[in-house]
Structure 1
């Protein structure tokens, strides 16, 4: 507290400044600092808008070493007041020793942020921090922190560990199992600078990791290092990722490997048990335009995994109308939407009876977005024909259907319908006109449809 008391005494002993704002800031600092007690207050005050307050807070935090204090000091190293910057920088220098490695690891985010801040030159501070974190005596602690970090922090620690490592194989093995995909990508890139006997096992390990971009990079590297990559390509042709499959299909002819034969052999085996297996088989079949037999189609469309059902639906041709119609009952919205997209390519006369039946059965229970999607499968005038038919057949719900028809008419603009015959259009328009003349519909319905 000695610095605070001395500072307050000096501030109180100064003659009152002539400048109003300077005087205001002095008095504000005195009031704010009078109630300051523990470290938590100093951490908060280190970002106060008053420069006098920040200066005192930085002085106090420099006397109270802790990971939190270091993080606050690193923020102030880029302060807009030169005196505060100098004090904060002096405080940070005390942490740039191996004993304070835990604090440096705690304050990684503000430390890395210095590289992008240009109010002062922070290169020496960053270089000194990297040197400390690369020391042999703290290697285990830094590596342990690297394994649990994510995002930019994980990449930063991997980069400095790799730079300081004389034998990087162990580190690269850990990096290839890291939860951060960008770290795994960096590790694959680093593997390519190793001798083949060290790189190949690591790259093969990368092929089993999540993240298609990682597997693609590893495959690219292995294709130039393996004398016999056929087994790898066979597995890649049935990978769940389209990017991996595409690379494998591109490379397969060079090694006299036929993707169609690989698929046929897999289709002769047992049904897949995992989502990744299903997606690989269904994806390759779709890309090669191979139609699956009924057993495989039925199993895929009944899968408990929505992504598998979606992939199976995508692989269906337009000939499989009954399966496309059945998938309209799928509980997953993505599968339902894809089924509607597929049905949108079918001729209207093939859909009419089944769509009428489904709408009659499920109208009241369908969510609004599904009801709207099913109605959108109908040509415009056929939407009106359906609503008028329900109005005629359900007299007890007349008001409900009149409200639907009125709302539907209000939403129409430039009716485009190449399917409905002109005679049927005139008949439907006459029905709407009669309802409008009787006052059952708003007066502008016919105008919107004509």
Structure 2
């Protein structure tokens, strides 16, 4: 179903076949369970509706599944799947019959498909669908609001989609508090944002609801907005425990919002104690508190970095406040036993523009992938000063992170080096690296053979005969994964 949400016709056709097979079993429970699962993904519902609505009943693209399901409307009790997909039929008369079947045997699983028909371009379909939506939301908001709200918000921007949004908003305004609370804690992110916006406008949400959303909601926009509202109320009312609780959140944006509230209330020492926080925004707020409190943040960072327990946050803070002459303080940390400290030290040297090849180059083979990544990032601008064989050795290493580092370093070389590295990576056993290699090879080949406005001059490929033969061999090895078009482009490029 997640693949069908992308809109590929083959995936959608397969989904229709699966739904038709479920309907063929004649088990109402199975059909409704399949539609309930589908209703959790409103984008998939919309794409499925568009797919079925296309004229796929004309030869030679005849798809028997939807046509067969639409014919089941003639039965006294058509299945839920047949009713749902018949609602997307190109024939408006069949869509109208499907809508009336949805109202005759209402079910929350059919509600998303009913919402789509409230914006139908045929009035005879649109009018009964709208009447059905109003009736169902009024009679059972607890059952139909969760089923209709995500799809209504999805189609709200369409030319006739405003009706559904208006109806679900009206139902939400009159729904019992437990229903509103459940909608704000579950469902897609768009639904939770909508419920939060309405709740804040109408004062539904109390302090506990806001704190819970700020701490636990998976959507960053919901978390930040809930945290801002809760912290603003806490500042106005002087509720320090609320600010302290949110200041301990694992979410940096929530911590920053709560610490800003504590800073406004004058709790300078409490805020400046976060100078070593992993988040840059939190460190900046803590440094402002330290400045007001008369604490030397730079001296603090130097003391922690050179002490027995350096932290990545302290290293980042030193990088943000100290001059480049303090880079020497980070040199001993390149051999620290903790990988996060080593990675932070390499990052600090890069930001201070004090990367030393003898110090950082050995970290390209560090046991920790994060350290290897930081080392490759730091050394990339200096790749020309590295031993020429080093990136190629890394590209042939059994460890995926080392191959990635070698490829990044080779990305600064000439066209031949980039093409050769891309061909090697295109057949890499790591799927992510292989995709990257294939994409780069295709881009290079297209730029060479088909100049564009962005790349009007083809990249120059200066190679010897031996190097050309080597590239041809690598191209043949990678041909099964590159595709015929790319292989043809490469062949012509190397021949010319």
TM-score, normalising length: structure 1: 0.64
Segments of 5+ residues of structure 2 without an aligned counterpart are 1-57, 59-66, 416-457, 473-496
Which residue is equivalent to 1:131? 173
Deviations 1:143-194 (A, max 9, x none): 2343233411111222334445467112112112222221111112322145
| SS, match of residue 205 in structure 1 | helix
What does 1:197-346 correspond to in 2, within 5 Å? Answer: 197=237, 200-224=240-264, 226-235=265-274, 237-267=275-305, 270-271=308-309, 278-289=311-322, 290-291=326-327, 292=329, 296-299=333-336, 302-305=337-340, 308-316=341-349, 318=354, 320-330=356-366, 335-336=371-372, 338-343=374-379
Provide the alpha-carbon RMSD of the alignment.
4.5
Distance, in Å, in 2 between the alignment partners of 1:310 and 1:341 is 11
Distance, in Å, in 1 between the alignment partners of 2:182 and 2:94 is 38
Which residue is equivalent to 2:228? 189
Which residue is equivalent to 1:275? none
TM-score, normalising length: structure 2: 0.59
Which residue is equivalent to 1:399? none
Contact 1:29 1:52 (C-alpha < 8 Å) held by counterparts: no
Contact 1:62 1:69 (C-alpha < 8 Å) held by counterparts: no
| SS, match of residue 195 in structure 2 | helix
Larger radius of gyration: 1
Shift of 1:86: 1.0
Aligned partner (choices 53, 74, 78) of residue 37 of structure 1: 78
Shift of 1:377: 8.4
Distance, in Å, in 1 between the alignment partners of 2:235 and 2:411 is 60
Distance, in Å, in 2 between the alignment partners of 1:52 and 1:222 is 63
Contact 2:247 2:258 (C-alpha < 8 Å) held by counterparts: yes
Answering whether residue 159 of structure 2 is matched by residue 118 of structure 1, we say yes
Deviations 1:229-287 (A, max 9, x none): 2321331x211122322343345423323212332453466426xxxxx3312211222
| SS, match of residue 282 in structure 1 | helix
Distance, in Å, in 2 between the alignment partners of 1:347 and 1:364 is 17
Aligned partner (choices 76, 83, 99) of residue 58 of structure 1: 99
Distance, in Å, in 2 between the alignment partners of 1:315 and 1:202 is 35
- CA gap of 1:303–1:166, structure 2 versus 1, over 3 A, is same
Deviations 1:175-220 (A, max 9, x none): 1222222111111232214563355433333322244333333333
Distance, in Å, in 1 between the alignment partners of 2:109 and 2:300 is 58
| SS, match of residue 273 in structure 2 | helix
| SS, match of residue 118 in structure 1 | coil
Segments of 5+ residues of structure 1 without an aligned counterpart are 1-23, 273-277, 381-410, 416-428, 443-450
Answering whether residue 121 of structure 2 is matched by residue 80 of structure 1, we say yes
Deviations 1:380-412 (A, max 9, x none): 9xxxxxxxxxxxxxxxxxxxxxxxxxxxxxx99
